[in-house]
Amino acid sequence: MRVYILVLLLSAALTYFLVPAVLRFALRIGAMTQVRERDVHTVPIPRLGGVAMFLGFTASLLIASNIPYLHRVLGNNSQVWAIWWGAALMCLVGFIDDIWELDWYTKLAGEVLAAGVMAWKGVQFITLPFMGLTVGSARFNIACTVLVVIVIVNAVNFMDGLDGLASGIVAIASIAFFIYSYILTRNATPGDYTSVACAVSAASAGMCIGFLPHNFHPARIFMGDSGALMLGMVIAGAGIQVTGQIDPAATSLGYKLPAYLPLLLSVGIIALPIVDFLWATFRRLRRGQSPFHADAGHLHHRLLRLGHSHVGTVLILHMWAAVFSFSCILLVVWPAKKVVWVALGSAAIASVVTFRMFGAGRRKARVTQGERIPSKDATDNVEVTLSSTRVDPIAPHSNSELATQGRLSATTNSLYDDVSPKSVGSPPISFHDDEKRGQS
């Protein structure tokens, strides 16, 4: 356990200290998230934070692979590097999208390619967690794997809409996956607690934790598609590696861990992003729109319109993610009836916290104070703001205006003392229907 905590801390520290360099690079090339109607942020913010996260993730795995205890599963195991290759390609697709704004079908093709490479290199469904049934042919294995990865990747991407939201949810999910993988590994191979899923989940949690101080409201930098797509790939790869390749019969502990439980846990741990993704897809298809058409109907947008603050909305969604994730984890160690009562009690508390602040009066107060709330029918075609501070999407602000209005909060932190607002250009503003750049 201690060695995995070390991997987590390494990943967190490396990511934290790499972010300032990436922020300077984003400012230099003009990789900024502009303001649109469906956005909650009111000023242009640098993106590409996912690059720092990926570098921290990679460095921590390289260091961990040289630790004798983990060398067997990291140094000579093709599966961990299969996940790495998938994450690297997904980060590259997101990086290109952050710079040049790919159309949705080109980006989807890149996602399929990245998922296919990971599956081709060995991380794929071999058995389904239903009584040990095999998936089928090698081609069908890869197809099932790619489909699951695409759903998870876009679920994480869709949730990346508020400062610290996606990174916090993935951190919670990664910690839950780590606990689950650790228990499965301990039960399947007594005396040997080393596994690819444990190491990857620990590194994934670490890079999210290291990025959060820079990304929490008010964010100095966004992770961009380079981060959201990569995070989805990492957590999908770890989940597939542990649920699709461990014999479910080996994990059975009678009433505590029936053979179907791995799939239930995998879905439950990432339930919040999946629910948001499925609802968004249904909503858009019902309107005759592409599933990738951006709007302001996500869970976080709804909570904002119902009266919660930016930070409050993020913390509420983190709370629900923890309720889903750790209620599922308890099924591994407790009887199902006991877990149901704990889950219901936790959900009741979370519901009280979620609903007690709703009200038009609170929403009106927030608007008066200058907090921006996207309308229900927000699109990328026109800029409307409820905030007292308006950003005009037609005429970019000059560098002096950005400096005067204090639009680069990064300069207030000692880590960013060498980042000057003067280095910020005024890149052209695009209203491409892209889910990621709606982050706030």
Rg of the Cα atoms in the chain: 21
Beta bridge pairs of residue 45: 33
- Compute the distance between CA of residue 413 and CA of residue 340 in angstroms, rounded to an integer: 45
Q: Is 157 annotated as a binding residue?
A: yes
422 phi, psi to nearest 5 deg: -65, -20
Judge contact between 237 and 83, C-beta under 8 A.
yes
247 phi, psi to nearest 5 deg: -60, 115
Helix axes 49-65, 2-29, angle to 10 degrees: 150
Judge contact between 317 and 272, C-beta under 8 A.
yes
- Compute the distance between CA of residue 346 and CA of residue 20 in angstroms, rounded to an integer: 38
Cα separation values, 292 from 107, 225, 242, 282, Å: 10, 14, 29, 11
- Compute the distance between CA of residue 326 and CA of residue 92 in angstroms, rounded to an integer: 32
Q: Which residues contact 387 (CB under 8 A, 6 or more apart)?
A: 42, 367, 370, 371, 372
Amino acid identity for residue 242 in this structure: V
Q: Is 392 annotated as a binding residue?
A: no
Q: Choose among 323, 325, 329: nearest CA to 343.
A: 323
Cα separation values, 370 from 15, 246, 373, 390, Å: 32, 52, 9, 9
Exposed, middle or buried: residue 137 (CB in 10 Å: 0-12, 13-18, 19+)? exposed
Judge contact between 241 and 252, C-beta under 8 A.
no
Question: In the numeric block, which tokens belong to residue 304?
Answer: 């904002």
- Compute the distance between CA of residue 211 and CA of residue 270 in angstroms, rounded to an integer: 20
Would you list which residues are annotated within the binding site for Mg(2+)? Answer: 157, 225
Would you list which residues are annotated within the binding site? Answer: 157, 225
